[in-house]
Amino acid sequence: MRSTRLGLALAAMAAVLLTACGGSSSAGGASGTVRLSGWTSTPAEDKLLTDQIAAFQVAYPNIKVTYEPVPKDFRTKLKAQLASGTEPDVFYVELGDAAGFMQKHVLLDLRSEMAKTGTKASDFSSGVLAAFKTGDAIYGIPKDFNTLALFYNKDMFTAAGVSPPTKNWTWQDLTDAAKKLTKAGVFGLITNSDSARWAPMVYQNGGQVLNADNTKSMLLDPATVEATKYYTSFKKNGTGTYSGALGSGIDWPGAAFAKGKAAMVMEGGWLIPFMKDYPAIKWDAVELPQGKSGRGNLVFTVGYSISAKTKNPDASWILVNYLTGLDNQKTVLHSGFALPTRTALANDPYFAANPAAAAIFAGGAYGKPFSWGINSGKVADAISAALERILLNKQSVDDALKQADKEVTDALAS
């Protein structure tokens, strides 16, 4: 009898304690440690995130954020961590990995967490959010996005007597300008062996990379072949080249542009803060030229996802919600790094004052996500290798695409 009473008393106490704990967390007082991981970018861009984390720590002192930046091979490390079950609570997910991760069920469906803070799917640009959705389930919040724009060197255009590009430029305008702008030590346009620069031209020409459900290679589609011929024509005609051929330290098209070795490059918002270190170059950017099928572009985005195995979903979500919140997206936009995914910022006055950012933002309306399903990596590799063979004069466009088509078909079948 006595022992029963004691047992009951203990049970009651436990119940009170449990309710108390539960109560505090549902009231938004989530606490604990949240591990956050992403790759490092330029020092300025890294500072943006560390500042946001510091501000978060002030606003939510009960949640301790452990930031684990990965300087190189972040995706490799993340996959290894996911495989071994040691992944952080919150991490970057690149567009190309999203499909595979969702298929493997390693990401947390955010809908119930979003409901707790009143965050709605409709707050975000639907085209960008789509990359992180399976059906109605949402597995990541895009932190920002980017598209490509045509960056041009104003002084070089003036010197060559070419009127600056407009958003209504056609492929012919681009070809003509590249020819006139090429002179000793300067190339008109940089075309690297990179599927992410080639694909917009495929879309502008009405071509496809894969079919709509990413199950079949469309590399031999006549429009795709024609676009590939056009993309590689600059190198062939001597009015363009790839950045690696330009000397030490020029490891991407943006560096060629910044060092005055190229009059035009097709890059995204990441080039804007990079150019701050090269004040001598006067530049601007417009939307990419139009092909025979009109406009085409790629959308690049990175999302914050939460591990399906996290022990602290509430605190993790509060961090994600904070980092992708209106204030932070505004800061990122005004810094010029990337564009906001929150629709509330679409009419921000920043765009009127910064035509380059507006041009990149405009690409989001018609750009396609830079993802070719769960085999994105292998597809991009096969295309980049084919472009490399063409640019190095090792294969004709037709032969290179035939080989890539076979490789992509094999990759899709495995």
Partner 1 sequence: MAVGTSAVVETNTALPTPVKVGPRRGRPWGEWLTSYAFLIPAIIVIGGFTFVAMGVALFLSFFKYDGFTLEWAGLHNYAKALASADFHRALLNVVYYMVVVVTCQTILALSMALVLDRIMVGRGVFRTVYYLPAITSSVVMGLIFSWLFSPGGWVGSLVGIIIPGARQFGWLLDPLSALPAIMTTTIWSTAASFMIIFVAGLQDIPTHIYEAAKIDGAVGWRSLWNITLPLLRPTIFLVVVLGTIGTLQVFDQVYVMTNGGPLKSTLTPVFLIFTNGFRDFSFGLGAAEAFILFAIIFAFTLIQRRFIDTTVEY
Question: Contact region for partner 1 (CB under 8 A) — 113-121, 227-235, 241-249, 339-347?
Answer: 241-249
Distance in Å, CB of 246 to partner 1, minimum: 7
Confirm or reject binding of residue 392 to partner 1 (CB under 8 A). Answer: yes
Burial letters 386-411, b for 16+ CB under 10 A, else e: bbbbbbeeebebeebbbbbbebbeeb
Confirm or reject binding of residue 47 to partner 1 (CB under 8 A). Answer: no
Confirm or reject binding of residue 236 to partner 1 (CB under 8 A). Answer: no
- Cα Rg for the chain, rounded, in angstroms? 24
Confirm or reject binding of residue 259 to partner 1 (CB under 8 A). Answer: no
Distance in Å, CB of 109 to partner 1, minimum: 17
- Shorter beta-carbon distance to partner 1: residue 89 or 407: 407
% helix / strand / coil in the chain, to the nearest 5? 50, 20, 30
- Shorter beta-carbon distance to partner 1: residue 27 or 184: 184
Partnered with residue 170 across adjacent β-strands are: 290
Question: Contact region for partner 1 (CB under 8 A) — 110-118, 273-281, 350-358, 377-385?
Answer: 377-385
**Do the Cβ atoms of 209 and 383 come closer than 8 Å?**
yes
Name, in order, each residue with C-beta under 8 angstroms of 274's C-beta and a sequence gap of 6 or more.
42, 254, 258
Q: Out of 17, 80, 115, 326, point to the residue binding partner 1 (CB under 8 A).
A: 80
Torsion of CA 117, 122, 126, 129, to 10 degrees: 10
**Do the Cβ atoms of 163 and 176 come closer than 8 Å?**
no
Confirm or reject binding of residue 409 to partner 1 (CB under 8 A). Answer: no
- Shorter beta-carbon distance to partner 1: residue 44 or 245: 245
Cα 211 to Cα 3: distance, rounded to the nearest angstrom = 71
Distance in Å, CB of 187 to partner 1, minimum: 13
Distance in Å, CB of 242 to partner 1, minimum: 9
Distance in Å, CB of 260 to partner 1, minimum: 15
Report the SS3 class of residue 268.
Answer: coil
Quote the tokens at residue 323. 């980092």
Question: Contact region for partner 1 (CB under 8 A) — 125-133, 228-236, 314-322, 382-390?
Answer: 382-390
Cα–Cα distances (Å) from 395 to 11, 51, 228, 402, in that order, read 77, 49, 13, 10
Q: If you write DSSP's letter for every residue of 143-209 in order, what string do you get?
A: EEEE--EEEEEHHHHHHHT-PPP-TT-BHHHHHHHHHHH-BTTBEEEE--S-HHHHHHHHHHTT--S
Question: Contact region for partner 1 (CB under 8 A) — 41-49, 230-238, 239-247, 293-301?
Answer: 239-247
Question: Contact region for partner 1 (CB under 8 A) — 109-117, 166-174, 244-252, 323-331?
Answer: 244-252
Q: Out of 147, 389, 397, 408, point to the residue binding partner 1 (CB under 8 A).
A: 389
- Shorter beta-carbon distance to partner 1: residue 175 or 182: 182
Cα 350 to Cα 357: distance, rounded to the nearest angstrom = 8
- Shorter beta-carbon distance to partner 1: residue 45 or 388: 388
Q: Out of 44, 121, 160, 245, point to the residue binding partner 1 (CB under 8 A).
A: 245
Q: Name residues contacting partner 1, limited to 317-346 (CB under 8 A).
A: none
- Burial of 193 per CB tally in 10 Å (0-12, 13-18, 19+): buried
- Shorter beta-carbon distance to partner 1: residue 143 or 389: 389
- Shorter beta-carbon distance to partner 1: residue 139 or 322: 139
Confirm or reject binding of residue 244 to partner 1 (CB under 8 A). Answer: yes
Confirm or reject binding of residue 401 to partner 1 (CB under 8 A). Answer: no
Binding track, positions 192-231, relative to partner 1; x by CB under 8 A: ----------------------------------------
Q: Out of 82, 219, 271, 397, point to the residue binding partner 1 (CB under 8 A).
A: 82
Confirm or reject binding of residue 104 to partner 1 (CB under 8 A). Answer: yes
Cα 370 to Cα 405: distance, rounded to the nearest angstrom = 18
Confirm or reject binding of residue 294 to partner 1 (CB under 8 A). Answer: no
Quote the tokens at residue 137. 């389930």
Confirm or reject binding of residue 394 to partner 1 (CB under 8 A). Answer: yes
CA 202, distance to chain mean position in Å, is: 19
Confirm or reject binding of residue 10 to partner 1 (CB under 8 A). Answer: no
The amino acid at 285 = A
Cα 7 to Cα 247: distance, rounded to the nearest angstrom = 79
Interacting residue ranges for partner 1, rule: CB under 8 A: 73, 76, 79-80, 82-83, 104, 106, 244-249, 377-378, 385, 388-389, 392, 394
